[in-house]
């Protein structure tokens, strides 16, 4: 079935979906890594493709910016298209001194300042975590490829330009590795629906050193993250 946000029909989407935020990155992955590629979605220019990688059938689709966006796309993939695993691949801002530019962060848990969990009516605070199976696979692939990967807690923030200038330091003090904007929502959808999810992130800038990657460096470094996700899918 199609939805207001996804034109795919039954059978067009694989059981595993790689989900960058940028739909053009989804297009890049499909054109660079996949064979026998079919485009299944162009609604709102949120491109989605299915193809094969080393004989494995894999889909890749953009997820947009922020929890509300990835919340919609991941919910529909899990609920209406039979997707079992979604691997988010995106950029993040480093928050700890030992998390450097180009490092890969595997999000074991995802803190958040979002109110996304209010829909579940829980009498407490839900802790969004990744699928251990996917975490283990990602760590093993990174080791095999000799790619540095750090595993730990990330922050999924609703706010890019925060009026509270002390907010980052408070999360840093709790050992949070980096900040991005989607993982917690993805993890909550997966938990509620009995599915699997993981965020693999590349540090593209650092909130405390002021360092940032150039456009060319981002392209080359992001390939490491993409290849980890493809190999483990």
Contact predicate 199/107, CB 8 Å:
yes
**Residue 231 token pair:** 């190999």
- Would you say 69 and 63 are in contact if contact means Cβ atoms under 8 Å apart? yes
Q: Which residues contact 159 (CB under 8 A, 6 or more apart)?
A: 113, 167
- Residue located via tokens 């990967």: 149
Question: In which residue are the tokens 């079935």 written?
Answer: 1
Q: Is 205 a catalytic residue?
A: yes
- Among candidate residues 36, 173, 205, 217, the one labeled active-site is 205
CA 23 to chain centre: 13
Query: Active-site residues: which are they?
Result: 205
């Amino acid at each position: 079935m199609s939805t207001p946000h996804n034109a795919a029909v039954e059978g067009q989407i694989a059981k595993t979906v790689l989900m960058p935020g940028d739909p053009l990155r989804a297009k890049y992955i499909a054109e660079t890594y996949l064979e026998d590629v079919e485009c299944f979605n162009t609604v709102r220019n949120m491109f989605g493709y299915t193809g094969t990688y080393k004989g494995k059938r894999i889909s890749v689709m953009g997820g947009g910016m922020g929890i509300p966006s990835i919340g919609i796309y991941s919910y529909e993939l899990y609920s209406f298209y039979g997707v079992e695993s979604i691997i988010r691949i995106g950029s993040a801002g480093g928050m700890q001194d030992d998390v450097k530019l180009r490092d890969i962060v595997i999000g074991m848990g995802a803190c958040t300042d979002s109110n996304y969990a209010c829909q579940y009516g829980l009498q407490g605070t839900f802790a969004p975590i990744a699928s251990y199976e996917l975490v283990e696979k990602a760590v093993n692939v990174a080791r095999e490829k000799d790619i540095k990967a750090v595993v730990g807690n990330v922050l999924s923030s609703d706010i890019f330009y925060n009026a509270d200038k002390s907010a980052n330091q408070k999360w840093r003090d709790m050992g949070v590795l980096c900040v991005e904007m989607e993982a917690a929502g993805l993890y909550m959808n997966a938990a509620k629906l009995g599915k699997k999810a993981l965020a693999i992130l590349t540090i593209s800038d650092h909130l405390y050193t002021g360092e940032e990657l150039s456009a060319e460096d981002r392209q080359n470094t992001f390939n490491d993250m993409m290849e980890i996700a493809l190999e483990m899918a």
